[in-house]
Amino acid sequence: MTLPENRHRLTCVDALRGLAMIIMALDHVRDFIHRAAMTSQPTDLAVTTPTLFFTRWITHFCAPVFMFTAGMGAYLWWQKGHSKAELSRYLLSRGLWLMLLEVTVMRLAYNFTFSMEYPLLLLVLWVLGACMVSLALLAWVPLRVLTVLSVAVALLHNTFDGIPAQSFGAAAWMWNLVHQPGLFFVGQMLVVVGYPLVPWVAVMALGFCAGRLMQSEPAVRQRMLLTIGAALTCGFVLLRAANVYGDPVRWTTQPSAMFTLLSFLNTSKYPPSLSYLLMTLGPALMVLAFLDRRRFTSDSPLVVFGRVPLFYFAAHFFLAHLMTVVLARVRYGAASGAFRFTPIPSMGGSRDLFPADFGYELWVVYVVWIGIVLALYPACRWFANIKATRSAWWLGYL
């Protein structure tokens, strides 16, 4: 069945989110499965390969798409006839719910244990929830003003890169939550902030403001999406080529043209630099324009995954970690019992507990990734149908 056009819920937005969900799983499977993930970063030019680099690089598009489409979805939800107060309450409650899931359900997915000896990771759901809580307040700001403020944050936040968290003394943890990734202790528990709030909140707010554009006639919004996307992409190339602002790490000439290109594309995600945002949001908007021209059926994988993002997100982490356990049992036999239900090194676990050669080749990562995506499709389609046919309030939180 071909899905009808609905000005309050655009299928192309779901499809873009679904595409990001599929790509995202590749990086998380790599975190759990790939041998090099246990000891190094895939974007470290000293140890990476082009294939490994691009395996990581393509997934850079996912987080900006999540944030932007979440903001856009909030605007379209508001336009269904809800009041601004209802919108704020929904964003506040959903944001707090996501933050709670990060420190409970996702902690179990990462570690397969609730033991306090392992770090508490504040990652995607944490910042997504925090941005929603922020948007609950920002939604009251006039759209034009909010657009200007959000653009200003995205453009200027790199001017604060030189301020270290340590300069705030006992309040350093606040700077970690707001701008600089880092570590701090809450009692005896180590907390790892991977996704500071700024500038992600600006990305979500921009998506909220772009919601009005998505209510335009298809030809108008497609032309605008292409124009804005192309402008942002060109802006990335020019800004990155200038090599003076927009990213805390400058690109450098490498021994080969390929690695010079990798250096050029190796922008900072933690926190997302201006160059990173231009590099990812520009192409994403052009892809959104392309998807807006297509007609999707209700069982299209992009639409199915895009309409149940939280269900997919939690499930794919559990499956990725479970595959690590299964592969360890197959490879190491009974000896894997000493480590297979503890956090792996790439997720903060102790390297000493694992064999020196723990992990698998990159092709195994791709095989497991494809298998997980295929396995999740029937479950996600089932849950998407439930959400589409039932009106229970709690379904909006899953």
Give tens-digit pLDDT for 32-48. 999 999 999 999 999 99
Domain count for the chain:
1
Is residue 6, in this structure, part of any structural domain at all?
Answer: no
Average pLDDT, the chain: 93
In angstroms, the CA 12 to CA 32 distance is: 31
In angstroms, the CA 79 to CA 143 distance is: 14
User: What tens digit of pLDDT does each residue of 55-113 get?
Assistant: 999 999 999 999 999 999 999 999 999 999 999 999 999 999 999 999 999 999 998 88
Cβ atoms of 120 and 192 closer than 8 Å: yes
Is residue 265, in this structure, part of any structural domain at all?
Answer: yes
Q: Buried b / exposed e across 128-157, counting CB within 10 Å, b at 16+?
A: bbbbbbbbbebbebeeeebbebbeebbbeb
Give me the percent of the chain exceeding a pLDDT of 90. 81
Is residue 2, in this structure, part of any structural domain at all?
Answer: no
pLDDT at 17 over 70: yes
φ and ψ at residue 185, rounded to 5 degrees = -105, 140
Answer with the residue of higher pLDDT: 370 or 389: 370
What is the reported pLDDT for 260? 98
What is the reported pLDDT for 2? 52
What is the reported pLDDT for 1? 53
What is the reported pLDDT for 7? 45
User: Crossing angle, helix 257-265 and helix 50-57, to 10 degrees?
Assistant: 20
Distances (CA, A) of 366 to 209, 212, 376: 37, 38, 15
pLDDT band with cut points at 50, 70 and 90 for residue 393: confident
Give me the percent of the chain exceeding a pLDDT of 70. 98
Q: State which residues form the domain around 340.
A: 11-397
Residue 5: count of CB within 10 angstroms of its CB: 11
Distances (CA, A) of 177 to 55, 173, 184, 200: 28, 6, 10, 12
Cβ atoms of 187 and 179 closer than 8 Å: no
User: What tens digit of pLDDT does each residue of 251-265 get?
Assistant: 999 999 999 999 999
pLDDT at 120 over 80: yes
- Give me the half-sphere count of Cα atoms (radius 13 Å) on the Cβ side of residue 342: 15
Is residue 3, in this structure, part of any structural domain at all?
Answer: no
Mean pLDDT calculated for residue range 16-21: 97
pLDDT band with cut points at 50, 70 and 90 for residue 365: very high
What is the reported pLDDT for 341? 81
Is residue 291, in this structure, part of any structural domain at all?
Answer: yes
Is residue 1, in this structure, part of any structural domain at all?
Answer: no
What is the reported pLDDT for 333? 87
Is residue 125, in this structure, part of any structural domain at all?
Answer: yes
Side chain identity, residue 111: N
In angstroms, the CA 149 to CA 143 distance is: 10
Beta strand 189-193 with 182-186 is antiparallel
Tokens of 92: 């506040």
User: What tens digit of pLDDT does each residue of 50-67 get?
Assistant: 999 999 999 999 999 999
What is the reported pLDDT for 188? 86
